[in-house]
C-alpha cells in the first residue's frame, strides 16, 4: 500500500505530457491545458505566422494563417465571447423595446 507521501512523489515524477497531469486540476495538473513547451511552440508559430502575413498584406499573395491557442485560453475566450454576445443581445432587445414598445 502507498502512503500519501509516496503517491504525491509518484504524481510529481510523472511526465509533463501525461494524461494525469494534463487533465487533473491544479495543483497536480493543468486542468486540460497544454504544457509550457506546447505553449511556447504555439506562440512561436503565431508570432512567425503573423510576421509573415504582415509582409504580404495588400498583395495578391496575401497569407492567411491559423492562430493556435491553448485549450484553457480557448475556453476563457469562448466564455468572454458568450458573455459579450449575451450583453449585446439584451441591449439590442432593450433598445428595440424602448423604441417600438408603445406601438
pLDDT, tens digit, for every residue of 60-79?
A: 999 999 999 999 999 999 99
pTM, full prediction? 0.72
In this structure, what C-alpha cell is assigned to residue 14? 510523472
Q: Would you say 56 and 63 are in contact if contact means Cβ atoms under 8 Å apart?
A: yes
CA triplet 15, 19, 25: central angle to 5 degrees? 100
> What are the tens digits of pLDDT across the range 15-49?
999 999 999 999 899 999 999 999 999 999 999 99
Average pLDDT, the chain: 93
Nearest in space to 65 (alpha carbons), one of 75, 79, 78, 55 = 55
Amino acid at each position: 500500500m502507498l502512503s500519501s507521501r509516496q503517491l504525491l512523489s509518484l504524481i510529481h515524477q510523472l511526465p509533463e505530457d501525461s494524461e494525469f497531469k494534463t487533465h487533473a486540476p491544479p495543483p497536480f495538473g493543468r486542468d486540460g491545458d497544454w504544457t509550457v513547451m506546447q505553449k511556447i511552440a504555439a506562440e512561436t508559430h503565431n508570432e512567425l505566422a503573423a510576421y509573415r502575413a504582415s509582409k504580404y498584406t495588400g498583395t495578391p499573395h496575401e497569407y492567411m494563417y491559423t492562430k493556435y491557442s491553448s485549450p484553457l485560453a480557448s475556453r476563457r475566450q469562448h466564455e468572454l465571447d458568450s458573455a459579450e454576445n449575451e450583453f449585446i443581445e439584451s441591449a439590442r432587445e432593450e433598445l428595440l423595446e424602448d423604441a417600438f414598445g408603445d406601438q
